[in-house]
Amino acid sequence: MKNRLDPNRKIAVQVSEDSELELRLKHIMVPPGHKISLRKDYDPEFTAGFKDKKDARKKLEKNIAELAEYQDILYAQDTYALLLIFQAMDAAGKDGAIKHVMSGVNPQGCQVYSFKSPSAEELDHDYLWRTNKVMPERGRIGIFNRSYYEEVLVVRVHPELLDHQKIPPSARENIWKRRHEQINNMEQYLSENGVVILKFFLNVSKEEQKKRFLERIDRPEKNWKFSTADAKERAFWDSYQQAYEDCLNRTSTEWAPWFVVPADNKWFTRLTVSEIVVRTLKRLNLHYPEVSEERRRELLEIRKLLEDEA
């Protein structure tokens, strides 16, 4: 299944009775086949001119309720799966976006996986193995907090990590180009088999990241969220931006598009993600399974037996 989205299409979001948010998809989507510049084309502070946080939160709550309804039908229909991929620099708000947007879904139909440094077992397999084995089943929503894209991001910024992957020397030739192609092919295969893929890059500015790092240091209840490694990785900011830009350009496709979500304002990040997810599920034209006439007669007979009980 292809998510055919026109980058120039306007989206009107009725946030409340008195306010409407309007934006073009090109402000948040990476058009397949087009080359983008993260710095020039996407503003981390972008909010489509919308400032009312209170109304935005109300709209988020409405989207959460709609998402819960669609998830129930998705599970019952058992035809499609939804895979949501979140990538970002540290402190961009991935955990918060997942927590808030998915707060209304039934845990039985949703699976969240975080992928950190690979284990010894995972390094003994190909780089897609650890994510492929936890792809969502039909009827379920799978969420990857970081994903196989780490293999063309972190590993690209720190190529010494390839030494731990024990891959043959020949596999290193044009490795990033080949991995981008392999990921595209894998995602196309999944799409053609009923897995709907949405990929979100939460685009936080370097200044906002610094602000959030300082907050994590100054507030005792947030100290656990900050590590020395986070500060060290910040020194590679430009390298990460280049790796992300190349990745977005090469792997945003009609069947698995990338969305560059402004992340300097958490309320807008969460509203945007929820709107994209709900609109995508709406386009699937989901419906509850219809029972046969024979099954319907059986149900009516069971109903009669229950009503006739003394």
For position 54, what pLDDT does the model report? 86
Write down the mean pLDDT value for the chain: 91
What are the helix (H) ranges across 193-265? 206-218, 228-234, 237-251
Share of the chain above pLDDT 90, in %: 75
pLDDT at residue 14 tops 70 = no
Residue range 45-74: mean pLDDT, rounded? 90
Mean pLDDT over residues 81-96, rounded? 96
pLDDT of residue 2: 47
What mean pLDDT do residues 242-260 have? 97
pLDDT band, very low/low/confident/very high, at 56 (cuts 50, 70, 90) = confident
Residue 15 has pLDDT above 70, yes or no: no
Each residue of 111-168: pLDDT tens digit?
A: 999 999 999 999 999 999 999 999 999 999 999 999 999 999 999 999 999 999 999 9
pLDDT (tens digit per residue) in 272-304: 999 999 999 999 999 999 888 888 899 898 998
**What confidence score (pLDDT) does residue 111 get?**
95
Q: What angle do CA 304, 306, 307 make, to 5 degrees?
A: 65
Which is higher by pLDDT, 19 or 200? 200
With bands split at pLDDT 50, 70 and 90, how would you rate the model's confidence at 24?
low
Query: pLDDT band at residue 11, thresholds of 50, 70 and 90?
Result: low
Closest CA to 263 of 200, 203, 199, 201: 203
- Among 58-62, 224-228, 256-260, the minimum mean pLDDT is found in 224-228
Please indicate, yes or no, whether the overall pTM of this predicted structure exceeds 0.85: yes
Q: Is the pLDDT of residue 110 over 50?
A: yes
Q: Which residues of 168-190 are buried (b: 16+ CB within 10 A; e: fewer)?
A: eeeeeeebbeebbebbbebbbeb
Return all residues near 3 (Cβ < 8 A) that are at least 6 apart: 196, 197, 198, 254, 255, 256, 257, 280, 283
Per-residue CA distances from 32 to 35, 82, 252, 258 (Å): 8, 20, 5, 9
Q: Judge whether residue 255 has pLDDT over 50.
A: yes
pLDDT at residue 12, rounded to an integer:
57
pLDDT over 80 at 104, yes or no: yes
Rounded to an integer, the average pLDDT of 23-48 is: 88
Residue ranges covered by each domain of the chain? 10-307
Structure tokens at 198: 């949405």
Residue 3 pLDDT greater than 60, yes or no:
no
Measured distance CA(103)–CA(13) in Å, rounded: 21
Most confident of 100-114, 216-230, 235-249: 235-249
Assigned token pair, 209: 């990241």
Across 67-76, 91-100, 218-227, least confident range: 218-227
Superfamily of segment(s) 10-307:
P-loop containing nucleotide triphosphate hydrolases (3.40.50.300)
Closest CA to 187 of 244, 234, 147: 147
pLDDT tens per residue across span 159-205: 999 999 999 999 899 999 999 999 999 999 999 999 999 999 999 99
Q: How many CA atoms lie within 13 A of 47 on its CB side?
A: 15
